[in-house]
Copies of this chain bind each other. A is one copy, B any other.
Amino acid sequence: MILSVDQIAKQNLEHESIHHDNFGFLKEKLINEGIDVSKIMEQLTTFQIAIPSWALGTGGTRFGRFSIGGEPTTLLQKIEDIGLLHALTQNSGAVSLHIPWDKVDNEREIKKKAKSLGIAFDAMNSNTFQDQKGQTYSYKFGSLCNVDPAIRQQAVNHNLEVIELGKKLGSKSLTVWLADGSNFPGQNNFQRVLKNTLESLKQIYKALPEDWKLFIEYKPYEPNFYSMVIPDWGTSYMLASHLGPKAFTLVDLGHHLPNTNIEQIVATLLLQGKLGGFHFNDSKYGDDDLSVGSIKPYALFLIFNELVYGMQENEKNPYPAWMIDASHNTKDPLEDLIQSIEAIKNAYAKALLIDQQELRKAQASHDVVYAQEILKKAYETDVRPILAEVRRLQNGALNPLAVYRKLNVRLRLIEERGKDTVASGL
């Protein structure tokens, strides 16, 4: 299923007049406050968020899974779904593949489909946290960290294959998330598994093309519940430093202990030039993988404050890779992604409104109250008209969710693909 520019334009018609008023008033107000609205709109336009192939099916928990119907079962269908999203939002022009979940046996067709929908190939994701049929060794007790060199080699080889595949598709980065860890004290020797992991990563790093990046994800717990081999940003940063300039840390918002100040981690990594990528989601307890901005939107804004500052001030750090990584049992995955994209851009737009010069002054004079006022002034601004206008100018939907529902997209996908399809992946 494909959404045409005309279909969307037609849907925009009825909202256009109110939108025109709202945007007009806001724009004038902001300009009067000295804000360069068109520059902000430019930045919002170029901001593209990758969609992982596994986010297009209903997620599950260890207690069960409730499917929604019409889920994509092939990579082609997944790319089509992202195409729908991109047509509506104009901000999801990339897909992030997960190997071996995504079978790429028709490479040319896939590239053609992606190109036709304006979808690029973002970071490749390897998978060594599950055993695949026919696999020689099990990853039950770890992959890159394993005490058994043969198992480590198998896991390294898998990553090398993923790089090869990515090269063919035009990807420029590899994300390594390791489920490696232990459930019980004594199971692992911490020093040994960390050394093993570094050695394995060195092999992978060596195989990386010159213009690629390696993203090292960290996570404190789950699926292992006593220790994870790369539990925190410190360990990821340490490994990335040992590997070299093409290795970076990847921050997933859900991969932190309770109460962690994530925006500070972001700032520290930017200062070191080691922030490689970002996985967006939201959570209340752990790696809950809820829709972005649904629980802690102010924290997301504060993170974007650091990103905006870091991208402006710090030439050392390359432009990070953005991806949504949410997955749960409750919503239509495409509706979920529409909400998540909106929440990300909302936070980004508000962060762009922050008066960085005044903030610097407030900080220089220890005026804590004023510094807070500056942040709050930006945060309290209702930026929805700006987001809608940016979409409109790119032929996207003024209100993506309304259009999605009006055009009965899910129903049509179910008609096309059936009620009981289940997306591959988690």
In the bound complex, residues from chain B placing their C-beta under 8 Å from that of A272 are 238
Is A80 positioned at the interface, with any CB of B under 8 Å from its CB?
A: no
Is A331 positioned at the interface, with any CB of B under 8 Å from its CB?
A: yes
Q: How far is the CB of A312 from chain B (nearest CB, A)?
A: 11
Beta-carbon contact of B66 and A314 below 8 Å: no
Name the CB-closest residue of B to A64.
Answer: B130
For the complex, give the distance between the alpha carbons of A290 and B225 in Å. Answer: 8
Is A339 positioned at the interface, with any CB of B under 8 Å from its CB?
A: yes
Beta-carbon contact of A131 and B306 below 8 Å: no
Is A382 positioned at the interface, with any CB of B under 8 Å from its CB?
A: yes
Known: A271-B194, A295-B298, A336-B369. A64 touches B309 (CB 8 A): no
Known: A290-B225, A306-B190. A368 touches B330 (CB 8 A): yes
For the complex, give the distance between the alpha carbons of A399 and B313 in Å. Answer: 33
Which of A8-16, A355-363, A411-419 forms part of the interface with chain B? Answer: A355-363
The residues in A between 328 and 377 inclusive whose CB is less than 8 angstroms from any CB of B are 328-332, 335-336, 339, 346, 359-360, 362-364, 366, 368-369, 371-375
Q: How far is the CB of A108 from chain B (nearest CB, A)?
A: 32
Is A147 positioned at the interface, with any CB of B under 8 Å from its CB?
A: yes
In the bound complex, residues from chain B placing their C-beta under 8 Å from that of A188 are 363
Q: How far is the CB of A80 from chain B (nearest CB, A)?
A: 21
Is A62 positioned at the interface, with any CB of B under 8 Å from its CB?
A: yes
Known: A64-B131, A284-B261. A185 touches B225 (CB 8 A): no
For the complex, give the distance between the alpha carbons of A245 and B384 in Å. Answer: 47
For the complex, give the distance between the alpha carbons of A168 and B31 in Å. Answer: 56
Q: Which of A234, A335, A375, A401 has the most CB of B within 10 A?
A: A234
For the complex, give the distance between the alpha carbons of A182 and B331 in Å. Answer: 11
For the complex, give the distance between the alpha carbons of A188 and B22 in Å. Answer: 32
Name the CB-closest residue of B to A254.
Answer: B225
Known: A185-B302, A189-B363. A226 touches B290 (CB 8 A): yes
Beta-carbon contact of B271 and A223 below 8 Å: no
The residues in A between 68 and 99 inclusive whose CB is less than 8 angstroms from any CB of B are none
5 A-B pairs with least C-beta separation: A234-B234, A190-B267, A186-B371, A225-B288, A61-B223
Interface residues of A (CB under 8 A from B): 18, 22, 25, 29, 32, 59-64, 66, 129-131, 138, 140-141, 147, 179, 182-192, 194-195, 220-223, 225-227, 231-235, 237-238, 257-261, 263-264, 267-268, 270-272, 283-286, 288-291, 294-299, 302, 305-306, 309-310, 313-314, 328-332, 335-336, 339, 346, 359-360, 362-364, 366, 368-369, 371-375, 379-382, 384, 401, 426
